[in-house]
Amino acid sequence: MPALPTRRRWLRWCLVGAIGLSATAQAAVTTPSTTTQADQAMKQALDAARDRRWNDIDQAAIEGHVLAGYVEYHRLRSRLSTASAAEVNDFVTRYGDSPLSDWMRGAAQTRFGELGRYDDFLAISDGEPSSTIRQCYYYTALLDREPARAAAGGEALWHVGTSQPEACDPLFATLEDRGVLTDEDTWERMMLAWENGQSGLVTYLERGLDDTWQRAINSFDTVRGNYAAVTQVPLDLGPDGQASGALIAAAMHGLIRADTEAALEAWRKISPHVSIGEDRRHQVEHDLAFYSMVRNIDNNQGWVDTTLPRLADADLIELRIRNAVTEGNWANVARWSEALPPEVRAEAHWQYWLGRASEAMGDDAKAHQAYRMAAQNRSFFGFAAADRLGQPYQLEMADTSVSTLQQELTSMLPVVQRTEALMRIDEEGLARSEWFTAAARDTPDQAAALADYAIRQGWYGMAIQTTIAAKQWDALPWRFPAAYRDSFLKWAEVNQVDPYLLMGIARRESAFNPRAASPVGARGLMQLMPGTADHVARELGISAPSTAELFEPQVNIQLGSTYIRSMLERYRGNRIAATAAYNAGPHRVDRWLATAPREFDRFVESIPFRETRDYVQAVLAYRVIFESLAKQGDTRGVAMLSQAERQGDYDPTLIARN
């Protein structure tokens, strides 16, 4: 059938979804009392299903509920040992638009693999699984059916520097018996384990080598205790003389990190003579160049500059430019900017620095051209380039209007109904899974409808994640919603701070998910650590917030805005330094100011932590977007930085107090 026009295709998608709703589900949408009773029964049934209390489930009460599949999921999962592949595939098909489908397939793969039901495993699979343990079962299942694929998959699983699940043991044993995995493979994995600091795995693998490997093991023991002995490694180790390359590459890995200057001296001695393969040689030289530049080893710089064009790695050239910017060596900034791959060189970031270098060297025409290219981009350096040119910022904002009909049809979609129901029974995690599964699979039109719906429901974090999943980078009203605007404006006024800076920080920290929690313990919209929150609360003379209270937007914004105010006071109102301190801590920023370049752009580029460097750029660009959106997308009169922030000195005089 010919492709439908975009709008017709979208309407068809909505109508099919709406028609697919059961009568019970549609009634639940329009009858609040029925919804409440059905949701209560569903919540009780789901809790019972998780605990396998099947007798406590009132099946009649949940029949036809949009979430009935969740109870069915737990029932089927509980009996996967005896369930057939056909039953699993039937479930996967019926719930194909829900994360339940992938979850069931994954659970069944694991159980069928554990039981050695390899025919059934393959019957429910749709290609290589994502998890390692399921990959082990997958390639074991293929050993007799597709031996070449099994061998390739098994070798990939073998050649890692960490222990693999026991599920891989039958696969590895069979491949060893068939001669696919050899002693050379064991030796190479042993070297990978050594690089990775996995001493237990090294010992285990070493025990699997016979006496013909003793000379190689002796050399390994020597280098293991002294990386610099890499220059003494014989070039004919192993039964076939193939073991030397892996040992030398692994020893260089350690020596580069321990003593980069000595590592280059050693590499110069052995490089012309050693045969280690192009991939290993590239990795050694990449690491040498990277650590030489990160550690600013002057004696290595000549080798680095000679080697970079041959390595042709954009990340290394970017680091070289960054170092040249920090040094103020504009000739090198221009030289290495031109060495970037064309698609990277065209980015606003590097066009900006090409413009700065050209301007410093007196080539105003080239500088103007570079700034114009950079200023077309919505980013920190794009906005900085626009400031150089004295022109308004370019937002590149897409139209996000959605018709009333589209909105009504979207509200009737099964994924929306399930998400709404999960929200009503306090299953926010499952609701997010439903939503993001749909957003990742849908067409741009469908994802746009979901993003619009999420915004109208106040699901700001979900709207943002929807645009990310759908790569809707220019849908600014959805990517940067006016979330919790009243609270940000209130506490910005109380603390006399820039409200758009607060919004930018919260957007970067949590993507406006008030329930966000980081692995290290940061909580809420502005990702406050409990210790920081306690300290700020004491300064305010209020009770220290509980962990639960940090997830409350009002509390989190109050404390976060107070903390950023203290950072602004510390750095004389400078938002660049204060934002860096919010991310990395003020003591680090104080140290950076002691040695950093004085200009604002060079200071930002010289921040040694990539996370903080990116963080500062993102937050300040975000604040421009929030302020512009507050003016209906008009950037006239919007300034990313104040005159003092653009022209002031970034040195210890910026520190008002410690």
Tokens at 441, concatenated: 């699979």
**Residue 427: what residue type?**
E
**How far is it between the farthest Cα atoms of the chain?**
83
The CA distance from 627 to 373, in Å, is: 23
**Residue 575: what residue type?**
R
Is 509 annotated in the active site? yes
Contact between residue 617 and residue 384 where contact means Cβ atoms under 8 Å apart: no
Tokens at 586, concatenated: 């003020």
Contact between residue 649 and residue 389 where contact means Cβ atoms under 8 Å apart: no
The CA distance from 461 to 480, in Å, is: 10
Contact between residue 227 and residue 254 where contact means Cβ atoms under 8 Å apart: yes
Encode 531-542: b = buried (16+ Cβ within 10 Å), e = exposed: ebbeebbeeeee
The CA distance from 609 to 374, in Å, is: 24
Q: Specify the DSSP class assigned to residue 550.
A: G
Q: Specify the DSSP class assigned to residue 166.
A: G
The CA distance from 389 to 376, in Å, is: 12
Active-site pick, 195, 427, 509, 627? 509
Contact between residue 523 and residue 551 where contact means Cβ atoms under 8 Å apart: yes
Contact between residue 331 and residue 361 where contact means Cβ atoms under 8 Å apart: yes
| Residue pointed to by tokens 């040094």 | 327
Helical ranges in 51-146 per DSSP H? 59-62, 68-78, 85-94, 99-114, 118-124, 132-141
CA angle (366, 368, 373) in 5-degree steps: 95
- List residues with catalytic annotation: 509
